Structure 1
Amino acid sequence: MRILLLLFGSILLSYGQEKVLFFQTDWGNQLSWNDFCERAKTSGYDGLEIWLPSGPDDQKALKAALKKHGLLLNLLHGTHKGLPFQESLELYKKGLEALMLWKPVLINSQTGSDFFSLEENKAFIEVANTLSSQYNIPVYHETHRGRFSYNLPDTNTYLNLIPDLKLTLDISHWMVVHESLLEGKDALLSTVKDRSHHIHARIGHAEGPQVNDPRAPEWNKALERHLGIWEEVIRNNWKKHKGVFTVTTEFGPADYMPTLPYTRIPVTDQWQANVYMMERLKKRLKLNK
């Protein structure tokens, strides 16, 4: 993965300040790694964000495709919520160390469980922060249903307790958890915005974590609310860190994507929805990339 680090370094040098790197999710992907990487590259993406394939042949094909198409890599990780705490913690640490060896740009972690205690969830965050410092690879903890960060008030509790806790902001989860677009909650969102270092760009609403089509006019209010929050996070990060911000477009496939009854045909095209999110953010941020 040394080629990825060299490529990322060259991007930082050539872009300078106030740039965004866009990553495509492989969620629901049915293409070969080569074809998937080719499509992501031609669609304007800088990299992929994926769960690492387990098989050695798949991993070899992934490495070759990333190198061939000049793409960066984010990796996903998570806590196994179905195991007892101590066993889950040990598995989390072992898996995270294995991902570090790939030297990704970042690791996005779906951390802990809403059924674990505060101290138990803290243990996962502390393991991640220790390994992140040891390997010099950022680990960002995603705001996600079912995890320690499943709602806004509890996430603020963890942020206040753990000064080096860094987030991936997927605010679509909180829209459905709190059954609102979080209007009037900007004071509570302040610390979250300040500690968010990566974004998952998907549009949620009061009744679900993903609208059926972000281009549809009936979702314009939800779209603008998400874009406004994301823009503030990105511009504040640019101002503070003078670096490149990362965004993964993360509209999911059926059945996360709403489908027609009986046939389960998705009501819109997942790839087009994700590319649309990238284009809207570029337009919003006035990026000339």
Structure 2
Amino acid sequence: MRNILTVILILILGNIYAQDQKLQFFQTNWGNTLSWDAFCERTKKSGFDGIDVWLPADTESQKALRTALKKHGLLLNLMHGTNKNIPFKQSLAQFEEKLKVLTQWNPVLVNCHTGSDFFTQEQNQAFIKIANKISKESGIPVYHETHRGRFSYTLPNTKKYVSAIPDLKLTLDISHWMVVHESLLEGQDENLREIVDHSHHIHARVGHAEGPQVNDPEAPEWKKALDRHLDIWEQIICKRWSEGQQTVTITSEFGPPAYLPALPYTQIPVADQWKANVFIMNALKKRMKIQ
């Protein structure tokens, strides 16, 4: 009788725990031409929990952003990056100064395009070290995106940094590596495991062997690529949930032309960027059985 009661209790507690596990989805404003109010209104109506943006430079736009976020009840992720076009020391100082400003907005997280593929490992690690320090001081998570042109431009290179910096926290945008390695990384699950373990945020865009973005993730010809990305994203979500992180954050990040293929001369997009981002959000909800 006692064993039966124990099993029932485990099932009940497991169900309660599962109910606490959730995903938060963020819509990118990449390519957006709407006002902050109109963009946030559309984002909310589409079912997103927040937006993922580069902080506007002028104070009027910043004020409009704050107003729109509050009005529509949306969360905020902020983007940050290393300026690769100025000398290293100047870039490092600029990176630190701007990151401190961003954390004062109290975003859910800051996602960084960190370092440069032309910097040395020591130089790139200096950016990561500063980011980790500011993150610890502010309490704002700062994650480093796997991205072409940065320290994390390839899977093997990123593994070097993970080995050197055990507390390195990544945003996984696996679409970049699909094109860099000209494959869907089949047969690389063992190499990916360590990256999954260090991934705390997801940029959900479907890439392929010849580009960082399929033209339309709903098209049947991209099902293999879509399923491969969903499999990897699911691993990250389950890893974070298993470690007690109840909420996993995801940015739907299909971009505008030229990431989104367009017809020659007219530059008319061959698909709908907004629709693609809503689709990928719903595909992940379905995969993870989230209402």
TM-score of Structure 1 vs Structure 2, range by shorter chain: over 0.9
**2:20 aligned counterpart, secondary structure:** coil
SS in 2 for 1:141: strand
Give the whole-Å Cα distance in 2 for the aligned partners of 1:271 and 1:259. Answer: 15
Higher gyration radius (CA): 2
* Alignment match, 1:10: none
Please point out which of 48, 51, 54 is paired with 2:51.
Answer: 48
Alignment partners' CA distance in 2, 1:50 and 1:190: 29
Q: 2:145 aligns with which of 137, 142, 159?
A: 142
Tell me, which stretches of 5 or more residues in structure 1 are unaligned? Answer: 1-14
Q: Name the structure 1 match of 2:15.
A: none
SS of the residue 2:38 aligns to: helix
- Match for residue 215 of structure 2? 212
Corresponding residue of 1:65:
68
1:172-217 deviation digits (Å, cap 9, x = unpaired): 0000000000000011001100110000000000000000000000
**Pairwise CA distance, 1:80:** 0.3
Question: Cα distance, 1:236 vs. partner?
Answer: 1.1
**Conservation of the 8 A alpha-carbon contact between 1:16 and 1:243:** no
- The answer for the alignment partner of 1:126 in structure 2 is 129
Partner letter of residue 211 of structure 2? G
Supply the distance in 2 between the matched residues of 1:227 and 1:91 (Cα, whole angstroms): 36
Choose from 183, 186, 191 the match for 1:188.
191
TM-score by length of 1: 0.94
TM-fit CA distance, 1:241: 2.5
Corresponding residue number in structure 1 for 2:248: 245
- For the 8 Å contact 1:140–1:168, the answer to whether it is kept is yes
Counterpart in the other structure of 2:32: 29
- 3-state SS of paired residue (1:241): coil
Query: How many Å separate the matches in 2 of 1:242 and 1:256?
Result: 32
Which among 76, 80, 94 is matched to residue 79 of structure 2? 76
Q: Which residue of 1 aligns with 2:154?
A: 151
Deviation at 1:256, TM superposition (A): 1.1
Q: Which residue of 1 aligns with 2:14?
A: none
The alpha-carbon deviation at position 16 of structure 1 amounts to 6.0
* Aligned mates of 1:95, 1:60 — CA distance in 2: 18
| 2:261 counterpart of 1:261 | no
CA contact (8 A) 1:33 1:62 kept: yes
The Cα shift of 1:255 comes to 1.1
Within 1, Cα distance between the matches of 2:162 and 2:93? 23
C-alpha displacement of 1:249? 0.1
- What CA deviation, in whole Å up to 9, does each residue of 1:253-282 have, x standing for no partner? 011110001111110000000000000000
Give the structure 2 partner of residue 94 of structure 1: 97
Any gaps of 5 or more consecutive residues in structure 2?
1-17
Contact 1:50-1:76 at 8 Å conserved across structures? yes
CA distance in 1, matches of 2:282, 2:138: 33
**Aligned-partner Cα distance in 2 for 1:23–1:171:** 17
Q: How far did residue 131 of structure 1 move?
A: 0.2
Aligned residue number for residue 104 of structure 1: 107
CA contact (8 A) 1:210 1:251 kept: yes
SS in 1 for 2:250: strand
Q: CA RMSD for the aligned pairs?
A: 1.1
| Separation in 1, partners of 2:67, 2:245 | 32
Q: Deviations over 1:212-251 (max 9, x none)?
A: 0000000000000000000011011101123200000000
Whole-angstrom distance in 1 between the partners of 2:188 and 2:245: 27
How far off its partner does 1:119 sit? 0.1
The normalised TM-score by structure 2 is 0.93
Moved over 2 A (4+): none
Aligned CA distance change for structure 1 residues 174 and 21 (closer, same or farther; 3 Å): same
**Percent identical:** 62
1:19 corresponds to: 22
